[in-house]
Amino acid sequence: MHLQASKLVINLVEEAKVVPPAESLVFGQTKTDHMLVVHYDPVNGWSTPEIKPYGPLTIDPASSCLQYCPNIFEGMKAYIGPDGEARLFRPQRNMERFARSAARLALPKFDQEALLTLIKRLVLVDKRWIPTKSGYSLYIRPTLIGTHTGLGPHYSDTATLFVILTPSGPYFTNGLQPISLLGISETVRAWPGGTGAHKLGLNYAPSFLPQMEATAKGYDQILWLLEIDCQDGEKGKKDFRITEVGAMNIFLVVQRDDGDLDLITPSLDGTILPGVTRASTLALADAHTRGDIVLPNIPATVKIHTYEKPLTMSLLSSLSSQGKALEFFGVGTAAIVAPINKIGWEGEDVVFPENPYDETRSSTIGRAMFEMITNIQTGRTQFEDWGVVCE
């Protein structure tokens, strides 16, 4: 049987929990009253979807998700706007990526529209948990795990799909204050031909130890680098291609000689996750340049030329030393925008302008993107069909 939203069963908690003050929320720690659960087996297909009280799952110890990691997830957010409506931000893109990730691990197929409908229903059931404080939201975590119980490295023909909700504050407690990065090439997050383009649980666990090492050296996050042959043709010389920062996509803003700006992000070469915020940043920059919108505090006369192409440490260091590298920032669902002030690399720091996100200074591309995206997410600004009301 196909996944059918019309079959949804809702079982509410007997006693609802108290919603804590927004100021006390830590990203991902507080859970709402309910969750969505649906199971799959090859004989019966998808079971009846159920919204039920939040609680533990029952998993066989031999389940493939515990043994071989066929686990995928998505990251989404719900917001409350001035009109009191609950909104999702470009959720169809999350459903499409979720489906691609499932296909990559040979997990069961599902109806994307049905799942999105079920997520909207879950958000509405727990709507009271959506924080109204600026910078806060309800984080949504759809997850699909393989539950085949026989040992042996093969695909799982049974699965459990569940969605949990967690009201959250800013991902970084310092908000838009810049973070520092440690460039790492000895350990990689993704590699050509690997699974970096998909949102798989197995992509994240190997990053925990390098992150601990970066923190011990005084840096906030990791800049993941891949060693490549130097592009200048000098035999035996190596360069390092920039992929992602922590679990975020990366953008570089470069000052052009004609007064315009270049906005560069690494191309989707299989090592880069196709982030929703990444795609949105590129689209908004292009819309500003066409004159369809004006980004907050960015003059309409300033054109932003977008590029998806390889970025290397040698290029970044060169642009920084020339004073042309104006901004370097990460983007992602959790943080939206994370400005970067320095990168530790080969015993030195590649430094960017000090705190360009200071509100007392003129706006930057990163701050403009943060303001525009959050305005769309909360329904304060309309742009195409990006803000989807939960109905």
Q: Assign 352 a pLDDT band (cuts: 50, 70, 90).
A: confident
Predicted confidence (pLDDT) per residue in 67-91, tens digit:
999 999 999 999 998 999 999 999 9
Grade residue 360 by pLDDT with cuts at 50, 70 and 90: very low
Q: Rounded to an integer, what is the distance from CA 124 to the centroid of its chain?
A: 23
DSSP letter assigned to residue 150: S
- Its pTM stands at 0.95
The residue with tokens 């699974």 is 195
In the chain the domains, ranked by start, together with CATH numbers, are 5-169 (3.30.470.10), 179-369 (3.20.10.10)
The whole-angstrom separation of Cα 338 and Cα 355 is 11
Cα–Cα distances in angstroms (integers) from residue 308 to residues 163, 174, 251, in the given order: 33, 29, 10
Neighbour count for residue 127 (Cβ, 10 Å): 16
pLDDT at 357: 47
Q: What is the pLDDT at residue 172?
A: 79
Please give the pLDDT value at position 176: 75
For the chain, what percent of residues have pLDDT higher than 70? Answer: 95
Average per-residue pLDDT in the chain? 93
Count how many Cα atoms sit within 13 Å of the Cα of residue 328 in the half-sphere of its side chain. Answer: 28
- φ/ψ of residue 26, rounded to 5: -115, 135
Hey, how many other C-beta atoms are within 10 angstroms of the C-beta on 236?
6
- pLDDT at residue 362 greater than cutoff 60: no
- Which whole number is the average pLDDT over 82-108? 97
End-to-end CA distance of the chain: 25
Site of tokens 């970025």 = 311
Residue 35 phi/psi, 5° resolution? -145, 160
- Is residue 127 left, alpha or beta, with left meaning phi > 0 and alpha meaning psi from -120 to 50? alpha
**pLDDT surpasses 70 at 188:** yes
pLDDT digits (tens, 9 = 90+) for 54-66: 999 999 999 999 9
The DSSP string of 63-81 is -HHHHT--EEE--EEEEE-
The predicted pLDDT at position 327 comes to 93
Query: What pLDDT is stored for residue 278 in this prediction?
Result: 98
The tens digit of pLDDT for each residue in 214-238 reads: 999 999 999 999 998 776 656 667 8
The mean-pLDDT minimum among 199-208, 296-305, 359-368 falls in: 359-368
